[in-house]
Structures are given as C-alpha cells and as structure tokens.
Amino acid sequence: MQTLPHAIDQVDLRFDDAGLLALNVVLGLVMFGVALDLRVADFRRVIARPRAPVVGLIAQFVLLPAATYGLTLLLKPPPSIALGMILVAACPGGNVSNFVTHLAGGATAVSVSMTAVSTLAAVVMTPLNLALWGGMRPGTAAILRSVELDPIAMLGTVALILAAPLAAGMTTAARWPALAARMQRPFKAASVAFFAIFVVVAFHKNFDHFLASIGFVFVPVLVHNSAAIALGWTLSTATRLHPAERRAVAVEVGIQNSGLGLVLIFSYFAGLGGMAVVAAWWGIWHVIIGLSVAALWSRRPIPVHAGPMDAPVPMHTGPTHTGPTQTGPTQAGGSNGDQSR
C-alpha cells in the first residue's frame, strides 16, 4: 500500500498548450449543447418553486463534498486519489443527468433547473470546495501547496469553461429556437462521444497504466458514486419531496461533470495520475450506474396516491394504498411540459 501512490501516479498525463486548448474547446462545446436545452424559464421555475432545486443544490455543493471528505478518511486512499474524489464531488451535475432523469420517470423540469443553477454556482463553489476540503487532509493539502493552487485563477477557468458556453447556448435557444431544437439531439449524442475521445486522447500513451490503475480506483469510485445517489435520495425523502422529484435529485447528485474535473486536473495538477484516473473512471461509471438505476425506476411507476407535484407529499400513518399506478415516465415527471426536454 505504501508504493501505491507512486505506482498510480506513474500515469503521466501532460498536454501542450494547443492540446489543452483543444480539450477546453471540446468541453465548452459539450456545455453549449447542454445550454441549448435551457431557458430563462428554468431559472424562473426555481424562483417560483424553489424547494426541490434548493434541496438538490444543498446535497450537491454542501453535503456531497463534506461526505466525500469523510469517505477519504474512512477508505484511506492515496492522496492523489482522495483529491480526485474531492474534485469530482466539487463539480456540478453532469450533462447526461436530464436524459437519465427522464428515463427514470423523474421530474425532468427539476433536473433541468438544477443543471442550470448548479452550472452557474460551480463557478464559485467548485474552486471553493476543492480548496476547503482538499486543504483539510494533510496529504491532499500537500498536493494543493505543491501546485500553488490559486482558487481565484481556477474560478476564472471554470467561468470560461461553464458560464460562457452556457450564456451562448441559452442565447442561441432564445433567439433561434428552431435551430436550437435541431441541434439538441446531435449535441447530446456527441457529448458522450466527446468524453470518450477525451479519455482516449488523455490516456493513449499510458493506456496500460490506466487499465492497471482501474483496480485501485474501482472500489472508491463505486462507494463514492453510490453514496452520492443515496445522499440525494435520502435528503429529498427527508424533506418530503414528491417521489418524482426525489428521483431527479438523486440522479443529479449522482452524475457529476467529470469532464470539467479532467480539464482542471490537466490545467492545474499536470495530469496527476491518481486524480486523473478517478475523474476518468467516474465519467464512465456514472453513466453505467445512472442508466441501470433509470432502468430499475422506469419499471416502478410513481403511485397515483403520491398526487401531483404541486401538492405536499402526505404523511401516511396507516397502510399504504395499493391502487392503480401510472404507466409511464411522462406522468411521473408531472405535466407534459416537464418532459419536453
């Protein structure tokens, strides 16, 4: 175990300025595609009905980073893997969460609203959480000191990668809705391909090291991702959100923008092996587990007795009603408008 940090950090990932710029552009295009599906109305919805998005954002940016720090103390991974876990937890929701929420029969409107707000909030919260929780563990704090991490500089990078494409995509959707509608599906499909290409390019010179390192990060990523989904579900249940909203929050917290994490690792940590392998494997794993959870939930429609999402969820003191259930995810997510994206 003592040699593990040296072994996994032999995965040396370095890009020249042109390569790093290309990767930033790729992630910017992915975020532009996400923004094509967002409207100003999504932010207004948060103001009009803030409960579910606020619960989700608390889980995303407050509880998940704190819980991740606790997991690193419990699992005791090497510092680079621990810092990779903290960085992934500090990132906003991933770009496939809306699609997975729809498949799961969740409240798609809540998922879209959370994606919009968390992407903006990440400009501040991602550098803040990385500096805060990464600085509390001696090994990870040493890495932060060794790279002389400047949270303000990272804030600028995150703003450029996330906020600028978000504004451009939403402007395109508002001014040319027909064009945006035609572009949405290709961009969503391309986003998965972009991430795959991203990982292949990053690891092509070290692919043997990458495959050998998967065994070291498999359990931490599995436990971490499961904890994220469980955290979102538990908090949304404790706050008595509608069952469809619980599914949306759980998916949104469990699917992170690991592509952003990789860009930050290349930009500020010279592609440190342990961090990079965690972020890359998370990006693959959360799609696998997200689609698996969606398949399970899609076979368990939201019960009719749960009522509409506008109404508070009743507290049952007697036997649960076992009447007829809804038959598809469209009803579970609320109105058809919720599922239009």
pLDDT in tens, 76-117: 999 999 999 999 999 988 767 877 888 888 887 788 788 878
Determine contact, residues 251/94, Cβ cutoff 8 Å.
no
Q: What is the CATH number of the domain that holds 286?
A: 1.20.1530.20
User: 262 vs 81, which has greater pLDDT?
Assistant: 81
Residue 310 belongs to some domain of the structure: no
Output the DSSP codes for 69-84: HHHHHHH---HHHHHH
Residue 27 belongs to some domain of the structure: yes
Residue 88 belongs to some domain of the structure: yes
Residue 96 belongs to some domain of the structure: yes
Lowest mean pLDDT among 38-47, 53-62, 107-116, 160-169: 38-47
Residue 314 belongs to some domain of the structure: no
Residues 315-324 pLDDT 10s:
333 444 444 4
Question: How many domains are there within the chain?
Answer: 1
Is residue 224 predicted with pLDDT exceeding 50? yes
**Rounded to two decimals, what is the model's pTM?**
0.75
pLDDT in the model for residue 276? 85
Residue 320 belongs to some domain of the structure: no
Residue 274 belongs to some domain of the structure: yes
Is residue 156 predicted with pLDDT exceeding 50? yes
Lowest mean pLDDT among 63-67, 192-196, 247-251, 290-294: 192-196
Query: Band of the pLDDT at 300, cuts 50, 70, 90?
Result: confident
Q: Residue 121: how many CB atoms within 10 A of its CB?
A: 17
Contacts for 234 with CB less than 8 Å, ≥ 6 apart:
none
| Average pLDDT of the segment spanning 218-241 | 95
- Domain enclosing residue 275, as ranges: 4-305+327-339
Residues 117-131 pLDDT 10s:
888 888 889 999 999
Phi then psi dihedrals of residue 256, to 5 deg: -105, 155
Residue 293 belongs to some domain of the structure: yes
At 157, list the tokens.
Answer: 């990078």
- Of these ranges, 132-136, 155-159, 165-169, the one predicted with the greatest mean pLDDT is 132-136
pLDDT in the model for residue 14? 58
pLDDT in the model for residue 315? 39
Determine contact, residues 106/297, Cβ cutoff 8 Å.
yes
Q: Share the mean pLDDT of the chain.
A: 79
